[in-house]
Amino acid sequence: MVAVGLGYVILVGYAITVGVELPVLVVGLSPRHSLRRRVFAGFWLTACTYPIVTLVIPAAIDPQDARFLCLVVAETFAPLGECALFWGAFRTGGGLRDTSIWRDFGVITLANLASFAVGEWLHAAGYL
């Protein structure tokens, strides 16, 4: 068996996560966002939250002892963090009254649920 470094595992996980979330964001984000911004968001949002989800939260909550709690915290943090980042970067003058931002929040949450589902499938199949 070949030993694989943590950096490699993180890069592969990041690529899988972006591969799942990016199409959801490209298709679903509100029309006020250009394709370039949608693609940027797919890489940037995951880059901001993925290290916390994969390194910090499991260090604070041992997934071997409390997997469910670790998943709940991580999968709550990721969409909330990404929505906050997205709003901070791309909000309009209407703030939270702008209905397009709520669509964006929903799509960001959906993208995170999709990557969570793929991750759970990979875990159940023994790949993670």
**Is pLDDT of 110 > 70?**
yes
One-letter amino acid identity for 95?
Answer: G
Provide the domain count of the chain. Answer: 1
What would the pLDDT profile of 27-62 be if each residue is shown by its tens digit?
Answer: 999 999 999 999 999 999 999 999 999 999 999 999
- In the DSSP assignment, the letter for residue 21 is H
In a domain, 9, yes or no: no
Answer yes or no: is 84 within a domain: yes
Terminal alpha carbon distance of the chain: 15
Domain assignment present for 29: yes
- Residue 117's domain comprises 17-124
DSSP 8-state code for residue 53: I
pLDDT computed for residue 36 by the predictor: 97
Write the CA distances from 9 to 71, 88, 114, 128, integer angstroms.
Answer: 18, 30, 20, 10
Query: Does the pLDDT value for residue 1 go beyond 50?
Result: no
Residue 86 lies in a domain: yes
Residue 34 lies in a domain: yes
In a domain, 74, yes or no: yes
Residue 3 forms part of a structural domain = no
Task: Please answer whether residues 20 and 118 qualify as being in contact, where contact means their C-beta atoms are separated by less than 8 angstroms.
Answer: yes
In a domain, 7, yes or no: no
